[in-house]
Structure 1
Protein backbone atom coordinates (compact mmCIF):
# COMPACT_ATOMS: atom_id res chain seq x y z
CA UNK A 1 0.00 0.00 0.00
CA UNK A 2 2.89 2.39 0.72
CA UNK A 3 4.31 1.99 -2.80
CA UNK A 4 0.91 2.78 -4.31
CA UNK A 5 0.61 5.96 -2.26
CA UNK A 6 4.15 6.90 -3.24
CA UNK A 7 3.42 6.28 -6.90
CA UNK A 8 0.25 8.35 -6.85
CA UNK A 9 2.16 11.13 -5.10
CA UNK A 10 4.89 10.95 -7.76
CA UNK A 11 2.32 11.23 -10.51
CA UNK A 12 0.53 14.16 -8.93
CA UNK A 13 3.62 16.14 -7.92
CA UNK A 14 3.46 18.35 -11.03
CA UNK A 15 -0.21 19.05 -10.36
CA UNK A 16 0.56 20.26 -6.87
CA UNK A 17 3.66 22.18 -7.84
CA UNK A 18 2.33 23.87 -10.96
CA UNK A 19 -0.63 25.55 -9.33
CA UNK A 20 1.55 28.28 -7.84
CA UNK A 21 4.17 28.63 -10.55
CA UNK A 22 4.87 31.88 -12.28
CA UNK A 23 3.34 35.30 -12.24
CA UNK A 24 0.53 36.48 -14.45
CA UNK A 25 2.38 39.03 -16.58
CA UNK A 26 0.80 38.01 -19.87
CA UNK A 27 -2.54 39.79 -19.45
CA UNK A 28 -1.44 42.65 -21.69
CA UNK A 29 -0.35 40.19 -24.35
CA UNK A 30 -3.64 38.32 -24.00
CA UNK A 31 -5.60 41.40 -24.93
CA UNK A 32 -3.75 41.63 -28.24
CA UNK A 33 -4.00 37.90 -29.00
CA UNK A 34 -6.43 36.51 -31.57
CA UNK A 35 -9.60 34.90 -30.28
CA UNK A 36 -9.68 31.45 -28.79
CA UNK A 37 -9.84 28.53 -31.13
CA UNK A 38 -9.56 24.79 -30.94
CA UNK A 39 -6.72 22.73 -32.34
CA UNK A 40 -6.99 18.97 -32.54
CA UNK A 41 -3.66 17.21 -32.89
CA UNK A 42 -4.28 13.76 -31.36
CA UNK A 43 -1.03 12.13 -32.44
CA UNK A 44 1.39 15.05 -32.26
CA UNK A 45 3.42 13.75 -29.32
CA UNK A 46 3.76 10.37 -31.03
CA UNK A 47 4.79 11.94 -34.33
CA UNK A 48 7.41 14.15 -32.70
CA UNK A 49 8.82 11.32 -30.60
CA UNK A 50 8.97 8.95 -33.57
CA UNK A 51 10.36 11.57 -35.92
CA UNK A 52 7.40 11.11 -38.26
CA UNK A 53 5.99 14.60 -37.96
CA UNK A 54 5.26 15.72 -41.51
CA UNK A 55 7.34 18.74 -42.41
CA UNK A 56 9.52 18.70 -39.31
CA UNK A 57 10.14 22.41 -39.65
CA UNK A 58 6.44 23.21 -39.94
CA UNK A 59 4.61 24.00 -36.69
CA UNK A 60 1.83 21.60 -35.60
CA UNK A 61 -0.70 24.45 -35.43
CA UNK A 62 -1.03 27.94 -36.83
CA UNK A 63 -1.43 29.22 -33.26
CA UNK A 64 1.89 29.81 -31.43
CA UNK A 65 0.12 29.54 -28.06
CA UNK A 66 -1.16 26.04 -28.87
CA UNK A 67 2.30 25.14 -30.21
CA UNK A 68 3.83 26.24 -26.90
CA UNK A 69 1.58 23.75 -25.09
CA UNK A 70 2.43 20.90 -27.48
CA UNK A 71 6.15 21.67 -27.14
CA UNK A 72 5.76 21.49 -23.36
CA UNK A 73 3.97 18.11 -23.54
CA UNK A 74 6.66 16.66 -25.82
CA UNK A 75 9.49 17.94 -23.58
CA UNK A 76 7.71 16.72 -20.43
CA UNK A 77 7.16 13.26 -21.96
CA UNK A 78 10.85 13.05 -22.85
CA UNK A 79 11.79 13.86 -19.25
CA UNK A 80 9.39 11.24 -17.88
CA UNK A 81 10.58 8.54 -20.29
CA UNK A 82 14.20 9.28 -19.39
CA UNK A 83 13.49 8.73 -15.72
CA UNK A 84 14.26 12.37 -14.95
CA UNK A 85 17.73 12.30 -16.50
CA UNK A 86 16.86 14.35 -19.58
CA UNK A 87 15.83 17.88 -18.58
CA UNK A 88 17.66 20.16 -21.03
CA UNK A 89 14.65 20.18 -23.40
CA UNK A 90 12.43 21.62 -20.64
CA UNK A 91 14.04 25.05 -20.16
CA UNK A 92 13.13 26.46 -23.61
CA UNK A 93 9.43 25.54 -23.26
CA UNK A 94 8.65 26.84 -19.78
CA UNK A 95 9.26 29.74 -17.43
CA UNK A 96 12.19 29.51 -15.00
CA UNK A 97 9.82 29.06 -12.02
CA UNK A 98 8.09 26.15 -13.70
CA UNK A 99 11.43 24.65 -14.75
CA UNK A 100 12.47 24.66 -11.08
CA UNK A 101 9.27 22.83 -10.09
CA UNK A 102 9.53 20.24 -12.87
CA UNK A 103 13.22 19.72 -12.06
CA UNK A 104 12.15 18.60 -8.58
CA UNK A 105 9.91 15.98 -10.13
CA UNK A 106 12.78 14.88 -12.37
CA UNK A 107 14.98 14.52 -9.29
CA UNK A 108 12.28 12.42 -7.61
CA UNK A 109 12.10 10.12 -10.65
CA UNK A 110 15.90 9.73 -10.68
CA UNK A 111 16.03 9.02 -6.95
CA UNK A 112 13.23 6.44 -7.03
CA UNK A 113 14.39 5.00 -10.38
CA UNK A 114 11.04 5.55 -12.04
CA UNK A 115 10.33 6.23 -15.68
CA UNK A 116 7.42 6.25 -18.09
CA UNK A 117 6.90 3.88 -20.95
CA UNK A 118 4.99 5.07 -23.94
CA UNK A 119 3.67 8.56 -24.59
CA UNK A 120 0.83 10.73 -23.48
CA UNK A 121 -1.60 11.55 -26.24
CA UNK A 122 -3.07 15.03 -26.47
CA UNK A 123 -6.68 14.56 -27.53
CA UNK A 124 -7.51 18.25 -27.96
CA UNK A 125 -6.17 21.64 -27.02
CA UNK A 126 -7.72 25.07 -27.24
CA UNK A 127 -6.68 28.57 -26.34
CA UNK A 128 -8.86 30.68 -24.09
CA UNK A 129 -8.46 34.21 -22.83
CA UNK A 130 -8.88 34.48 -19.10
CA UNK A 131 -8.54 37.16 -16.46
CA UNK A 132 -5.20 35.57 -15.56
CA UNK A 133 -3.91 35.80 -19.13
CA UNK A 134 -3.78 33.30 -21.96
CA UNK A 135 -4.65 29.72 -21.03
CA UNK A 136 -4.53 26.49 -22.95
CA UNK A 137 -7.11 23.95 -21.91
CA UNK A 138 -6.17 20.52 -23.14
CA UNK A 139 -7.28 16.96 -22.64
CA UNK A 140 -4.64 14.26 -22.69
CA UNK A 141 -4.63 10.52 -22.22
CA UNK A 142 -1.95 8.59 -20.31
CA UNK A 143 -3.17 5.08 -21.10
CA UNK A 144 0.07 4.30 -23.00
CA UNK A 145 2.37 6.22 -20.60
CA UNK A 146 2.73 3.83 -17.68
CA UNK A 147 4.99 4.77 -14.76
CA UNK A 148 7.24 1.84 -13.90
CA UNK A 149 10.09 1.10 -11.52
CA UNK A 150 13.58 -0.07 -12.45
CA UNK A 151 12.30 -3.64 -12.88
CA UNK A 152 9.53 -2.58 -15.25
CA UNK A 153 6.71 -3.07 -12.74
CA UNK A 154 3.89 -0.56 -12.77
CA UNK A 155 3.94 1.64 -9.68
CA UNK A 156 0.48 3.14 -10.11
CA UNK A 157 -2.70 1.55 -8.78
CA UNK A 158 -4.89 -0.08 -11.42
CA UNK A 159 -7.63 2.50 -10.87
CA UNK A 160 -5.40 5.53 -11.58
CA UNK A 161 -7.19 7.84 -14.03
CA UNK A 162 -5.86 8.01 -17.59
CA UNK A 163 -7.68 11.14 -18.79
CA UNK A 164 -6.46 14.52 -17.56
CA UNK A 165 -7.52 18.11 -18.13
CA UNK A 166 -4.69 20.63 -18.27
CA UNK A 167 -5.33 24.32 -17.76
CA UNK A 168 -1.94 25.91 -18.36
CA UNK A 169 -1.01 29.58 -18.41
CA UNK A 170 1.00 30.50 -21.47
CA UNK A 171 3.27 33.53 -21.26
CA UNK A 172 5.35 35.35 -23.81
CA UNK A 173 9.00 35.74 -22.80
CA UNK A 174 11.45 37.43 -25.13
CA UNK A 175 9.19 36.92 -28.12
CA UNK A 176 8.35 33.27 -27.58
CA UNK A 177 5.42 31.59 -25.88
CA UNK A 178 6.18 29.26 -22.95
CA UNK A 179 4.16 27.40 -20.32
CA UNK A 180 3.99 29.14 -16.95
CA UNK A 181 2.13 26.60 -14.85
CA UNK A 182 -1.48 25.95 -14.08
CA UNK A 183 -3.43 22.93 -12.98
CA UNK A 184 -4.01 19.37 -14.03
CA UNK A 185 -7.03 17.39 -12.86
CA UNK A 186 -8.28 13.89 -13.62
CA UNK A 187 -11.33 14.30 -15.81
CA UNK A 188 -13.13 12.34 -18.48
CA UNK A 189 -12.68 14.86 -21.27
Structure 2
Protein backbone atom coordinates (compact mmCIF):
# COMPACT_ATOMS: atom_id res chain seq x y z
CA UNK A 1 0.00 0.00 0.00
CA UNK A 2 1.32 3.47 -0.93
CA UNK A 3 2.05 6.05 1.69
CA UNK A 4 0.10 9.30 1.44
CA UNK A 5 2.52 12.03 0.36
CA UNK A 6 2.73 15.15 2.51
CA UNK A 7 3.71 17.20 -0.54
CA UNK A 8 2.25 17.44 -4.05
CA UNK A 9 3.79 17.48 -7.53
CA UNK A 10 4.36 21.10 -8.57
CA UNK A 11 4.39 22.36 -4.98
CA UNK A 12 6.97 24.97 -3.96
CA UNK A 13 8.87 23.91 -0.84
CA UNK A 14 12.04 24.55 1.11
CA UNK A 15 14.58 21.75 0.60
CA UNK A 16 17.65 21.14 2.74
CA UNK A 17 20.98 20.88 0.91
CA UNK A 18 23.89 20.45 3.27
CA UNK A 19 23.52 23.03 6.03
CA UNK A 20 21.24 25.35 4.04
CA UNK A 21 17.64 25.48 2.83
CA UNK A 22 16.66 26.38 -0.73
CA UNK A 23 13.38 27.09 -2.48
CA UNK A 24 12.56 24.16 -4.74
CA UNK A 25 9.70 22.69 -6.78
CA UNK A 26 8.61 19.05 -6.58
CA UNK A 27 8.75 17.41 -10.03
CA UNK A 28 8.00 13.75 -9.26
CA UNK A 29 7.00 11.58 -6.31
CA UNK A 30 7.67 7.87 -5.76
CA UNK A 31 5.84 6.14 -2.90
CA UNK A 32 7.86 3.16 -1.81
CA UNK A 33 8.63 2.13 1.75
CA UNK A 34 9.87 5.70 2.13
CA UNK A 35 8.41 8.46 -0.06
CA UNK A 36 10.99 10.07 -2.36
CA UNK A 37 10.70 13.40 -4.17
CA UNK A 38 12.47 14.68 -7.26
CA UNK A 39 13.10 18.39 -6.70
CA UNK A 40 14.33 21.27 -8.82
CA UNK A 41 16.09 24.11 -6.98
CA UNK A 42 14.61 27.44 -8.08
CA UNK A 43 17.18 29.51 -9.95
CA UNK A 44 19.63 26.61 -10.26
CA UNK A 45 20.61 24.54 -13.29
CA UNK A 46 18.70 21.30 -13.88
CA UNK A 47 21.92 19.39 -13.19
CA UNK A 48 21.23 20.03 -9.50
CA UNK A 49 17.83 18.28 -9.64
CA UNK A 50 17.87 15.38 -7.18
CA UNK A 51 15.83 12.83 -5.31
CA UNK A 52 15.32 13.58 -1.62
CA UNK A 53 13.38 12.09 1.26
CA UNK A 54 10.53 13.80 3.07
CA UNK A 55 12.68 14.78 6.05
CA UNK A 56 14.64 17.10 3.73
CA UNK A 57 11.53 19.11 2.84
CA UNK A 58 9.66 21.85 4.62
CA UNK A 59 6.41 23.54 3.64
CA UNK A 60 6.59 27.22 2.84
CA UNK A 61 4.79 29.58 5.21
CA UNK A 62 1.17 30.33 4.32
CA UNK A 63 0.09 33.95 3.88
CA UNK A 64 -3.02 35.74 5.06
CA UNK A 65 -5.88 35.75 2.53
CA UNK A 66 -8.15 38.69 1.81
CA UNK A 67 -11.93 38.57 2.08
CA UNK A 68 -12.23 37.00 -1.38
CA UNK A 69 -9.87 34.19 -0.46
CA UNK A 70 -7.10 35.45 -2.77
CA UNK A 71 -3.60 35.48 -1.36
CA UNK A 72 -2.13 38.90 -0.60
CA UNK A 73 1.58 39.11 0.13
CA UNK A 74 2.51 42.80 0.38
CA UNK A 75 0.45 45.50 2.08
CA UNK A 76 -0.47 48.83 0.50
CA UNK A 77 1.83 51.58 1.74
CA UNK A 78 4.69 49.21 2.54
CA UNK A 79 8.28 49.99 1.53
CA UNK A 80 9.80 47.34 -0.74
CA UNK A 81 12.48 46.77 -3.34
CA UNK A 82 11.21 46.24 -6.88
CA UNK A 83 13.25 44.38 -9.47
CA UNK A 84 13.49 46.16 -12.81
CA UNK A 85 15.50 44.18 -15.34
CA UNK A 86 18.57 43.11 -13.30
CA UNK A 87 18.55 45.81 -10.61
CA UNK A 88 16.57 46.45 -7.41
CA UNK A 89 15.04 49.85 -6.72
CA UNK A 90 13.45 51.16 -3.49
CA UNK A 91 9.72 51.51 -4.07
CA UNK A 92 6.42 52.02 -2.28
CA UNK A 93 3.25 50.02 -2.90
CA UNK A 94 0.45 52.47 -3.63
CA UNK A 95 -2.38 50.00 -4.23
CA UNK A 96 -3.10 46.43 -5.22
CA UNK A 97 -5.73 44.59 -7.23
CA UNK A 98 -6.71 41.11 -8.34
CA UNK A 99 -6.61 40.54 -12.08
CA UNK A 100 -9.87 38.93 -13.17
CA UNK A 101 -8.30 36.89 -15.96
CA UNK A 102 -5.92 34.92 -13.74
CA UNK A 103 -6.91 35.90 -10.16
CA UNK A 104 -3.31 36.94 -9.47
CA UNK A 105 -2.42 39.92 -7.28
CA UNK A 106 -0.76 42.90 -8.97
CA UNK A 107 0.81 45.86 -7.17
CA UNK A 108 1.00 49.48 -8.30
CA UNK A 109 4.41 50.77 -7.22
CA UNK A 110 6.13 54.14 -7.11
CA UNK A 111 9.92 54.12 -7.42
CA UNK A 112 11.32 56.33 -4.64
CA UNK A 113 13.00 59.46 -6.01
CA UNK A 114 11.67 58.89 -9.54
CA UNK A 115 8.99 60.78 -11.47
CA UNK A 116 5.53 59.24 -11.05
CA UNK A 117 5.41 58.58 -14.80
CA UNK A 118 7.50 55.49 -13.99
CA UNK A 119 4.83 54.15 -11.60
CA UNK A 120 3.67 50.75 -12.82
CA UNK A 121 1.74 47.58 -12.05
CA UNK A 122 4.00 44.62 -11.20
CA UNK A 123 3.62 41.01 -10.13
CA UNK A 124 4.52 39.97 -6.60
CA UNK A 125 7.54 37.97 -7.75
CA UNK A 126 9.28 41.27 -8.60
CA UNK A 127 8.95 42.58 -5.05
CA UNK A 128 11.17 42.03 -2.03
CA UNK A 129 10.74 43.36 1.49
CA UNK A 130 13.74 44.25 3.70
CA UNK A 131 14.30 41.95 6.67
CA UNK A 132 14.21 43.45 10.16
CA UNK A 133 17.66 43.62 11.73
CA UNK A 134 16.66 41.38 14.63
CA UNK A 135 15.89 38.43 12.32
CA UNK A 136 18.71 38.84 9.81
CA UNK A 137 20.96 35.85 9.24
CA UNK A 138 24.68 35.85 8.55
CA UNK A 139 25.46 36.45 4.88
CA UNK A 140 27.43 33.76 3.06
CA UNK A 141 29.49 36.30 1.06
CA UNK A 142 31.12 39.52 2.29
CA UNK A 143 31.30 42.94 0.64
CA UNK A 144 34.42 43.05 -1.52
CA UNK A 145 34.76 39.26 -1.70
CA UNK A 146 35.87 37.78 -5.03
CA UNK A 147 33.53 35.06 -6.29
CA UNK A 148 32.46 33.10 -9.35
CA UNK A 149 28.99 33.85 -10.72
CA UNK A 150 26.93 31.40 -12.77
CA UNK A 151 25.51 33.07 -15.88
CA UNK A 152 23.81 30.76 -18.40
CA UNK A 153 25.84 27.78 -17.15
CA UNK A 154 29.18 29.62 -17.46
CA UNK A 155 31.21 30.89 -14.50
CA UNK A 156 32.51 34.47 -14.51
CA UNK A 157 34.85 36.15 -12.02
CA UNK A 158 33.06 38.85 -10.04
CA UNK A 159 33.30 40.89 -6.87
CA UNK A 160 30.52 41.34 -4.32
CA UNK A 161 29.62 45.02 -3.92
CA UNK A 162 26.80 44.61 -1.43
CA UNK A 163 24.74 41.87 0.19
CA UNK A 164 21.20 42.20 1.53
CA UNK A 165 18.47 39.99 2.93
CA UNK A 166 14.83 40.27 1.95
CA UNK A 167 11.50 38.65 2.55
CA UNK A 168 10.07 37.43 -0.73
CA UNK A 169 6.98 35.45 -1.63
CA UNK A 170 5.77 33.30 1.31
CA UNK A 171 7.79 35.53 3.66
CA UNK A 172 10.87 33.32 3.73
CA UNK A 173 14.21 35.08 3.95
CA UNK A 174 16.44 35.15 0.90
CA UNK A 175 19.83 36.73 0.28
CA UNK A 176 20.77 38.73 -2.79
CA UNK A 177 24.07 40.27 -3.80
CA UNK A 178 24.99 43.19 -6.03
CA UNK A 179 27.99 42.04 -8.05
CA UNK A 180 30.43 43.57 -10.52
CA UNK A 181 31.86 41.29 -13.22
CA UNK A 182 35.67 41.50 -13.31
CA UNK A 183 36.82 43.42 -16.38
CA UNK A 184 33.30 44.36 -17.50
CA UNK A 185 31.45 47.67 -17.57
CA UNK A 186 29.64 48.90 -14.44
CA UNK A 187 26.49 48.90 -16.57
CA UNK A 188 26.45 45.10 -16.27
CA UNK A 189 26.43 45.13 -12.45
CA UNK A 190 23.41 43.19 -11.23
CA UNK A 191 21.64 41.73 -8.20
CA UNK A 192 21.83 37.95 -8.14
CA UNK A 193 20.46 35.24 -5.90
CA UNK A 194 22.87 33.45 -3.58
CA UNK A 195 22.60 30.11 -5.40
CA UNK A 196 24.38 31.65 -8.43
CA UNK A 197 27.55 32.43 -6.46
CA UNK A 198 30.51 30.19 -5.65
CA UNK A 199 33.52 30.79 -3.46
CA UNK A 200 36.73 30.88 -5.48
CA UNK A 201 38.41 28.22 -3.36
CA UNK A 202 35.56 25.70 -3.81
CA UNK A 203 33.49 26.61 -6.81
CA UNK A 204 31.51 23.37 -6.83
CA UNK A 205 29.96 23.99 -3.41
CA UNK A 206 26.41 25.26 -3.68
CA UNK A 207 26.08 28.62 -1.92
CA UNK A 208 23.79 28.54 1.10
- If the length of structure 1 is used for normalisation, what is the TM-score? 0.27
Structure number with greater Rg is: 2
- If the length of structure 2 is used for normalisation, what is the TM-score? 0.25
**Which has the larger strand fraction?**
2
State the structure with bigger RCO (CA 8 A, min sep 6), 1 or 2. 1
